[in-house]
Structures are given as C-alpha cells and as structure tokens.
Amino acid sequence: MSMEWGVIAFIDALGFKGIWKAHDPKDVLASIESIKSLAATLKAKIERLDGWDLWDHVSVRTYMFSDTVGIAINLPPPKIEMEDIEYYQGVRQYMLLRHVVMMVSEVTGEAAISKVPLLYRGCISTGEFTCNDTSLVGPAVDEAGEYFEECDGAFVFLTPSAEKTFTQRPWQLRIGHPAYFVPYSVPMKKGKELRTLTVNPLLFLEKGKKQVAIESIISCFGGTATRPASVHSKALNTEAYLKHLLSWQW
C-alpha cells in the first residue's frame, strides 16, 4: 500500500489519570462522549465542504480511545491540472492543514468548558502516511508520536513538518496572518523550547465563554499549594500562554 501526503493530529488530556477521583465517573464519560460527538460533527462538516478547485472529496478519519483523539486526512487527488504544480500543491497542502487546525481548535475549546473539563495537549504533523479504520503508519505518524506528549503544558502545536507546510505556503497566502495559527515558543520537557505555531483553543468560543474556558483550564491544575513541581510548571506555562492568547490579534 502506497503512502500519501496528509495531515495528522494527536491530542490527549493532561491530568486524565485519576480524574475519576475528582469527578463522577459518569460525568467524565459524558464529557468524552460529547467530544466524540463533536469530532464526528466536524468530520462530516469538512467532508461536505466544496474543495473549490483543490479537490472533489476529502475523507477524514477520527480515532478515539478514552481521552486520546487522533485525526488523519490524506490530501485528495488534485481537481484540475496546473502548469505551476509547486504552487498548486502548496495551496492544497496549506488548506488541508488549515482544516485540521480549525477542527482541533473547536475540539479543544469545547473540551475546556465541558461538564468535566478536559485539558488537551498534543501536536499536528504533516507528511507521508497511510491508514485504515484502526491504524496509521508512516513518517508523519512517527513525528506526531515523537512530539505529542513532549510539551510542558496544555499546548497543541505544529511539529517541524507542519510548521514548514505553513511557513512555505505560496506568497499569495502570506498576506495577513490567520488567527488560528498562533506563533509561540512552546515550553518542552527538559527545559527546552520549540518555536512554532500553536492552535488557539479560545478561537471559536463565544465571547462570553472565553473567560470561562480560561478559568476552567487553570482550575484543572488544582490549587498551588497541592501541586507537584511537575504539575506546577505545566500550570504556569499554560497560564502564560493563555495571557498571550488574550493579547493575540484575532
């Protein structure tokens, strides 16, 4: 089976282990089910969209196990023939990445304000891979697997491959900066930082719900007096990021 270029997202919830101790397990499961339902709705929405002159049909695969969510979309065949193939492919790849970023933004935002808040972190990668209903394999999968648990806080960010897809998009798409790609130096484990682009979890929330989401996200880390050092650093990094989002022009 040949591999094709596409976009992959892997996200899971910080602090999910033992979450049943602080919340009614039925409420935890209900929150997960609401995210599963939202992911299915967004999947259907993307698949219904007209691909203009980019593609005729796009197929979105979603994978869920407990709090972990996977999204995979291979780039559909081109719809038209273009002399400037590099430009055309650059547009198509950027637009597919954009779809996934917007989908993840909605999922992470709604998860933060669900009855039992789910604090998602993870990454989005691009590149070659193949998949079926249960599994994914390929370089893009390997890169996503390498990065998705490496951030020290609640960040969903672009891996180097996905960041390159964004920064190398055709110049016509560089006029203005889309609000759903937020530049940030993401704190990583072992004190490192990754200068990349992040997914804004507040972007699609109604104005009155943005502050609710921020408070909900911070509350997930618990009180400062009872936090282990590893949790405390994640809380501080996440709070700094949320303050950055409030100042971000979007």
Q: How many CA atoms lie within 13 A of 93 on its CB side?
A: 23
Bridge partners (DSSP) of residue 123 are: 10, 157
Q: How far is CA 245 from CA 54, 149, 203, in A?
A: 32, 21, 9
* Chain mean pLDDT for the chain: 92
The arithmetic mean of pLDDT across residues 3-31, rounded, is 94
SS3 77: coil
pLDDT in tens, 196-219: 999 999 999 998 899 999 999 998
Count CB-CB contacts under 10 A for residue 73.
23
Q: What is the CATH number of the domain that holds 136?
A: 3.30.70.1230
Q: How many residues does the chain have?
A: 250
Strands 136-137 and 68-74 come out as: unpaired
Distance CA 85, CA 49 (A): 23
Number of domains, the chain = 1
The per-residue pLDDT for 249 is: 64
The pLDDT of residue 180: 85
* Calpha distance 111→64 (Å, rounded): 14
Q: Is the pLDDT of residue 52 over 90?
A: no
- What is the distance between the alpha carbons of residues 62 and 11, in angstroms, rounded to a whole number? 12
- State how far the Cα of 232 lies from the Cα of 250, in Å rounded to an integer: 29
Tokens of 155: 């960040």
With tokens 């193939």, the residue in question is 85
Q: Are 159 and 123 in contact (CB under 8 A)?
A: yes
**Contact by Cβ (8 Å): 40, 62:** yes
| Mean pLDDT within 160-168 | 96
**Residue 250: what pLDDT?**
58
Mean pLDDT of 113-133: 95
At 190, is the pLDDT very low, low, confident or very high (cuts 50, 70, 90)? confident
Tell me the pLDDT band of 82, cut-offs 50, 70 and 90: confident
Provide mean pLDDT across the span 169-188: 88
Domain that holds residue 197: 4-247
pTM: 0.94
Confidence of residue 224 (pLDDT cuts 50, 70, 90): confident
Average pLDDT (51-76) is 93
If one counts every other C-beta atom within 10 angstroms of the C-beta of residue 51, the result is: 16
CB 38 within 8 A of CB 107: yes
Residue type present at position 151: C
**Cα 176 from chain centroid (whole Å):** 21
